[in-house]
Amino acid sequence: MSQSPGIFLSFPLYSRADGSASFGFGSSPLASASFSGPVEVHPSSESPIKSHLETHVIPLSGVPGIHERKLAQTVETTMKHSLMLEKCPRTLCQFVVQAFADLEGMKDNQNSSVIHASLINSASLAALNASSVPMRGVVCAAAVQVGEGGNISPSTFSVPSSIQQRSSSGGVFAFLFTSSNIRCVHTSWYGGAAEQMHEAEKVALARAQDVWNAIHLKVGAIDSVEEDEDDEARMEI
């Protein structure tokens, strides 16, 4: 788990996946994702200019419905800004993303936005963990809410007893962090005026930078451990 406050980040090992990651805003994961590819693709989906990308969002229980398919499309569209699919033509890449909270009845509320952002972050981290497809940058997402008095703040996942509570407005913003710039690649906003959305994007960017810093901290720690293991192996030889 990462050591950044308010952010859970880990890279569990999943069988039959090239990369995997779990993410959550808080002390526990809210979503987990696996990434596979590039692998052989069915002829009907084969493209001569890029890899075919598929994304599946799995609910906590039951079978995927309309809401899960919509979230899967959002994750897929967002990740296309990061993955250089044109580098792997005539292949298949696939995300499978699992939500660790019941998505039923959570549309457009505070908890739904936090899960939405966690799904995107876990997918982004799974692709980073796999490193099997070149990436333009790393996507980091954050959820924000507009509270009483118009105060805008990062959203947090509330306890089940208050799962139906809704903020007046809020949403999810995802940003692509590259070596040269940061740009917004996804916006999902409900309620509120346009002026609030612009301010909310600034708050979301600050929170997304926290996610970016947590990734740096986690990946740096992994690299340090691997270097130590390599040094020990050389000494044994």
For the stretch 156-169, pLDDT in tens is 887 654 444 556 68
Q: What is the pLDDT of residues 167-178, one digit of tens each?
A: 668 899 999 999
Q: Name residue, tokens 């990946």.
A: 219
pLDDT confidence tier of residue 195, bands split at 50, 70 and 90: confident
* 8 Å CB contact between 12 and 22: yes
| Confidence tier at 235 by pLDDT (50, 70, 90) | very low
The residue type at 132: S
3-class DSSP assignment, residue 40: coil
**Distance separating alpha carbons of residues 65 and 118, to the nearest angstrom:** 19
- Does this model's pTM top 0.75? yes
Whether 204 contacts 142, CB under 8 Å: yes
Which of the four pLDDT bands, split at 50, 70 and 90, describes residue 118? very high
Residue of higher predicted confidence among 86 and 67: 86
Write out the two tokens for 83.
């993955």
The answer to whether the CB of 9 falls within 8 A of the CB of 1 is yes
30, 118 contact by CB (below 8 A): yes
Q: What pLDDT, on a 0 to 100 scale, did the predictor assign at position 167?
A: 61
CA angle, 150 then 153 then 156, to 5°: 125
Would you say 23 and 29 are in contact if contact means Cβ atoms under 8 Å apart?
yes
Tell me, what's the pLDDT at 229?
A: 47
127 compared with 107, residue with greater pLDDT: 127
Please provide the average confidence, as pLDDT, over all residues in the chain. 87
Least confident of 30-34, 131-135, 196-200, 218-222: 218-222
pLDDT at residue 139, rounded to an integer: 98
First-to-last alpha carbon distance for the chain, in angstroms, is 32
CA distances to 47, 85, 90, 130 from 44, in Å = 9, 17, 11, 26
Two structure tokens written together for 140? 């980091």
Q: Which of 145-154, 166-175, 193-202, 204-213 has the highest mean pLDDT?
A: 204-213
Pairing, β 92-99 against β 52-58: parallel
Confidence of residue 88 (pLDDT cuts 50, 70, 90): very high
Calculate what percentage of the chain has a pLDDT beyond 90. Answer: 65
